[in-house]
Amino acid sequence: MNIHSLLIYLYKTSKERSMIENKNWNKEEAASIAVAESSREESWLSKSYMQSIFMGDFDITMAYPFPFQKEDDKKIGDEICAKIDQWCQENLNGEEIDRTETIPAHVWKGLAEMGLFAIKIPKEYDGLGLSQTNYMRILSVVARYCGSTAATLSAHQSIGAPQPLKLMGTPEQKKKYLPKFREGWISAFGLTELNVGSDPANLQTEAVLNDDGTWTLNGEKLWCTNGVVADVIVVMAKTGTKKAGSREVSEISAFIVETNQPGFEILHRCRFMGIKAIENGLLRFTNMKLPADSIIGGRGKGLKLALATLNDGRLSIPAIAASSAEEMATFSARWAKSRAQWGKKIGVHENGSDKLARISSGAYAMRALSDYCAALSDIGKQDMRMEAAAAKMFNTELLWEVCDTTLQLRGGRGYETAASLEERNEFAFPMERGMRDARINRIVEGTTDIMHLFLTREALDGHMSKAKPLFSRSTTQEKLAAVGKCALFYPFWTLKQFVPSFLRSFSGFDPKLKKYLRAADRRSKKLALAFFIRMALNGPGLADKQLTLNRIVDIGTEIAVMGLVAARAQTEIDGNDRSNLKTAIYWLHSATVRIDKMLKELNKNSDKEAVQLATQLMDEAELLPEVTTENIQPHIQREFGSELCNGKQTERLRADQSTSIKTGNSEAAAK
Ligand SMILES: Cc1cc2nc3c(=O)[nH]c(=O)nc-3n(C[C@H](O)[C@H](O)[C@H](O)COP(=O)(O)OP(=O)(O)OC[C@H]3O[C@@H](n4cnc5c(N)ncnc54)[C@H](O)[C@@H]3O)c2cc1C
């Protein structure tokens, strides 16, 4: 099928079906998509490095020279990170915090004294005014000691109140709240509800406008991290309905809610397999009166605000992931060298070598992606929505693999707790706790599935911007105009995808890296064609082929990371440092193998069989009972982060805590 037949086919099918308004979707599904569509940022700040890859344009100039942290900013980061590292060594006992499931009062106070609840808040509001890069570095330092404490800081600053206020707060809101975080006020973000997880369209929490301009808030929020001790919570609530295309959908607004007001209750403190000390709760708001000026970013802008916040907010998790992987890489090499079985060091057995290579190159790749995003955020000139989402997805998935590989390399000691290892005088590398703590990252701030959907939508936009009327409900005239536009664009675009990659010079790159850049370029073109052909052939049905789309997104992400790894390695070489070249080469080589496998799987897979089997399994399964929170009575002793942070409250009030909370530390247990 040539490009013109494809366009004719597209036009014909688009008359009956549309991708944004798919007739296969039920009412709820269509409403969810409409809400997501209406909250996405339509315009792009600039050309996107990642989106270009899905269009067959592998533009290494957007990554090379690699944007390492600027010297002056690095100096600031080095100093503060050294100070925090020292403090963590003396005060942050990750094992103890995990065991007691509680962050002690002295830790809250210490964090607040160092300004760690106001890291990115501008100095004019008493914050530390640090860059995104230094924020990510600080969280990474803390995470090396205690996942719960890092998650607490991250929930407050990545999704909690400071960032939305900074981005979209009114001058009055900024003046009122931002300085409070320097005093140790703690914030949280409440979107999730019992029936609202990945899909906010069905939000039940509701704020009703009163005659005097105030609001009355009712509803419940589940799994609100920091919610149990928060002084303020950013609460997403329905404020009415609005039109999204032809549909009536929920209008969602973001409210800043002070938790010392009547009507706020903590129903339950949730317990988890990892990051056990986070103050995460099920919260209830009953007829809670909110002042007229408590909306952040304007009425109905809640989800847009959440997405804008997450552009930067999503970056702390990938940074923590990269740092954890680096720790595992360093430790694994030590272990592989120290442990011998069957007459050889375990790292010398080929199985061990493979594990070491995967762990350390994975850490290098994660670092490249995370640092690239940090730089994009600090420079602020390049659209980074896809890179941030890819970093969240890629680094958390890879972290899990790295954890599993490290644990396996460590053998039985990987499964043993650090406390037990220490008690019998072994080096207490906390692999067991690390693995438990790492698991949540694939779920919060957008599950991996949702990141795939998000990235698919943004990747599609390269085509959508030209052919949108063909994929949505539009008039015949609009569709014909789109066909005309496409007829001009696509023949040349298609031809470009066949330009051989060996013609690209990639000047400035070491020949060993050049080879892989050409490989990435070739695969980017293959990907773009495969994506376009599937779009054209499946039309709106492609939206339901999630496994195909996952592969497309994963291939694009791998190619993007290849570019960043090569750019990072080359920039290091330019500074006379060749120490990471082997690591980069291994990563680049293994990435091409993974990409080729996924490209093959686009054509040969078991997706259809999976769907058939799942349908049968669900037909046969019994439904779970309905969930209700009606009979849950609040029983949590109320504590405020601000009081813990300013030293007014010096002991935790854990009624359910039988163990005392020690402040002691030991190097191995803390690490
Ligand atoms: C420790 C912890 C801390 C949290 N902190 C916060 C917080 O501070 N604030 C807050 O608001 N929330 C918080 N959450 C909630 C978290 O963001 C949600 O768990 C997450 O968004 C997923 O929602 P869910 O668990 O309801 O899963 P669901 O949305 O029910 O999804 C279940 C599964 O289905 C998949 N799925 C869902 N939709 C689709 C789709 N369209 N296509 C394909 N697959 C799909 C998901 O990926 C997942 O695998 C926290 C959760 C935990 C466990």
Looking at residue 658, what is its pLDDT? 39
CB < 8 Å & 24+ apart, contacts of 61-65:
62/382, 63/372, 63/563, 63/564, 63/567, 64/508, 64/509, 64/563, 64/566, 64/567, 64/570, 64/571, 65/567, 65/570, 65/571, 65/574
Q: Which two tokens stand for residue 70?
A: 């600027």
| Model pLDDT for residues 412-436, shown as the tens digit of each residue | 999 999 999 999 999 999 999 999 9
Q: Which of 445, 458, 639, 643 is catalytic?
A: 445
For the Cβ of 68 lying below 6 angstroms from any atom of ligand 1, the answer is: no
For residue 182, the Cα-to-chain-centroid distance in whole angstroms is: 26
Instruction: Report CA-CA distances (Å) from 434 to 94, 273, 321, 339, 371.
Output: 10, 11, 11, 21, 22
Treating both helix axes as pointing N-terminal to C-terminal, what angle do 350-379 and 546-574 enclose, rounded to 10 degrees?
80
Q: Annotate 615-651 with DSSP letters as a single string.
A: HHHHHHSPPPPPP--TTPPP-PPP--HHHHHTTS--S
Report whether pLDDT(529) > 70: yes
Q: Is the peptide bond before 65 cis (omega within 30 degrees of 0)?
A: yes
| Model pLDDT for residues 297-309, shown as the tens digit of each residue | 999 999 989 888 8
For the Cβ of 198 lying below 6 angstroms from any atom of ligand 1, the answer is: yes
For the Cβ of 373 lying below 6 angstroms from any atom of ligand 1, the answer is: no
Name the pairing type of β-strands 206-209 and 187-190.
unpaired
Ranges 8-22, 27-41, 314-328, 465-479, most confident = 314-328
Worst-scoring range by mean pLDDT, 277-281, 434-438, 623-627?
623-627
| Model pLDDT for residues 161-201, shown as the tens digit of each residue | 999 999 999 999 999 999 999 999 999 999 999 998 888 88
Q: Which two tokens stand for residue 284?
A: 């209830």
Sequence-ordered list of residues with C-beta below 8 angstroms from that of 624, at least 6 positions apart, any chain = none
End-to-end CA distance of the chain: 59
For the Cβ of 29 lying below 6 angstroms from any atom of ligand 1, the answer is: no
What is the average pLDDT value for the chain, to the nearest integer? 91
Task: Reduce the DSSP state of residue 257 to 3 states and report it.
Answer: strand
Distance, CA of 514 to CA of 382 (rounded, Å): 25
Is 401 designated active site? Answer: no
Share of the chain above pLDDT 90, in %: 76
CB < 8 Å & 24+ apart, contacts of 31-35:
31/201, 31/247, 31/249, 32/199, 32/201, 32/202, 34/201, 34/244, 34/245, 34/247, 34/249, 35/200, 35/201, 35/244, 35/249, 35/250, 35/252, 35/303
Question: Mean of the pLDDT values across residues 547-562?
Answer: 98
Report whether pLDDT(660) > 50: no
Greater model confidence, 538 or 432: 432
Q: How far is the CA of 557 from the centre of ligand 1 (A)?
A: 22
Q: SS3 helix, strand, coil % of the chain, rounded to 5? A: 60, 10, 30
Checking ipTM against 0.90, whether it exceeds it is yes
For the Cβ of 272 lying below 6 angstroms from any atom of ligand 1, the answer is: yes
Confidence of residue 656 (pLDDT cuts 50, 70, 90): low
Report whether pLDDT(392) > 70: yes
Q: How far is the CA of 612 from the centre of ligand 1 (A)?
A: 25
Treating both helix axes as pointing N-terminal to C-terminal, what angle do 385-410 and 316-338 enclose, rounded to 10 degrees?
20
Q: Which two tokens stand for residue 58?
A: 């592998």
Question: Mean of the pLDDT values across residues 601-610?
Answer: 97
Confidence of residue 499 (pLDDT cuts 50, 70, 90): confident
Question: Mean of the pLDDT values across residues 534-551?
Answer: 89
Domains and CATH numbers, the chain: 3-66+448-606 (no CATH), 71-185+641-670 (1.10.540.10), 187-311 (2.40.110.10), 314-442 (1.20.140.10)
Report whether pLDDT(19) > 80: no
Q: How far is the CA of 193 from the centre of ligand 1 (A)?
A: 10
